[in-house]
Amino acid sequence: MTYPSAFEAAWGFARDAVRLDNWRAAPWNVWAFRHVCELIPTARIAATPGLAEEPVVDARDLLDETVRLEGRPVTVAELLRKTCADAMVVMKSGRIIADFHAPNFTLQSRHILFSTSKSVTSIIAGILRDDGLLDFDELVSRYVPALRASAYGDARVRDVLDMRVSLDFEEIYHDPRGPYARYRRAGLLDPPDPDDKIETVVEFIAGLKKGKAPHGGPYHYASPNSDVLGLIIQGASGQRFPELASERLFQPLGARQDAYVTVDRAGTPRTGGGINMTPRDLARIGEMMRQGGMANGRRIVSQEWVTDTTTGGSSRAWAEGTSAAWLPHGRYRNKWYQTGTGNGAFFALGIHGQWLYVDPQAEMVVAKVSSQPEAVVDDAKDLNLALFDAIAKII
């Protein structure tokens, strides 16, 4: 008789079953989203030295709470199952009040954020703006000369921040032959294609063409914009993104666990979707945003930048853009979403169910990481927003 290994007993499959060509698909994604560094090259983002994590806060009372959705009662625990949650941290008035962990998830588990990485990256841009090193009205090419002949050559940093770059690029996740698949391969997220040339992220982005419209028009979601923001940050600061993020955000924040970011074959960090960190440290970023840029009694980013991020942006650009049907009253500013509702809620969002949600009115922050089988499902996004709204009424 052959007995399963400890890994197989815990996860239901062998470690060698998880490969670069299936790591985002169920059931392998549940393990892979917590162990990206075993699949893709990464760079360390160092946490604050010497800080220990506090014990887990029992979430059973919250999980047993019943809310009504579409006229029927459902528990918080059931909603977490429906949305394939791997972990959730709830903060109230700056204090962690609940930790939910799926099986095999611990306080040390780091989970990929996917596009929630964009919102974390934008905080570094705000810090450089406060320092006078980055001008949002300047052309991208001032900071990244390698993109002068690309679609970004006459785009402003502001266009990049607000997803208003006119770009001949569609983010189609399931097309194995399209430009998005090439983009993934450039970032080492997929196996190489023998029919394609090997290229880095910068080489891929440098080949992108401008769309027919001018920059600064409707909201048009395109992940390469956020990798461009990482390049802008490195060009403006003269530092590599991982070291800068550690020095100016993660260590002042009081992050307990090192984070990491995936890199391509040239060492370029995937700031558009490659940051991996613990849910608690992600929640601490949300609390810093709720506190107007303050953490541990020190200023990390200016109140002005936080206010602009959480209340600014163009309603018209959003209404004419690609997501208005899903979030009809929303706006997008500095790579953060606004719900447009009376509570002033704002959030960061990543594919497969990654969230950082802040409700200033309820003094609540929720960090939630998941392994949804599909990259994007509007119904799941609606369900998560309903969950967060329900939690705000409970706590």
Nearest to 301 by CA among 52, 90, 131: 131
- Residue that is written with structure tokens 């401008």 in the block: 210
Distance in angstroms (rounded) separating the CA atoms of residues 155 and 171:
19
The b/e string for 193-217 (b: 16+ C-beta within 10 A; e otherwise) is eeeeeebbbbebbbebebbeeebeb
* Sign of torsion over alpha carbons 366, 259, 307, 369: negative
Nearest to 42 by CA among 235, 371, 276: 276
* Cross-strand pairs, 303: none
Contact 365, 283 (CB under 8 A): yes
Q: At what angle do helices 116-131 and 224-237 cross, to 10 degrees?
A: 30
Q: How many CB atoms lie within 10 A of CB 316?
A: 12
- Tokens describing residue 237: 């600061």
Give catalytic status of residue 371 as yes or no: no
- Tokens describing residue 190: 């997929």
Backbone angles phi, psi at 336, to 5 degrees: -120, 145
- Amino acid found at 201: V
Catalytic residue (choose from 109, 115, 117, 166)? 115
Cβ neighbours for 202, distance < 8 A, ≥ 6 positions apart: 146, 147, 231, 266, 268
- Tokens describing residue 162: 């607000």
Cβ neighbours for 35, distance < 8 A, ≥ 6 positions apart: none
Q: How many CB atoms lie within 10 A of CB 131?
A: 11
Q: Sort 75 into a burial class: Cβ within 10 Å, 0-12 / 13-18 / 19+.
A: middle
The catalytic site residues sit at: 115
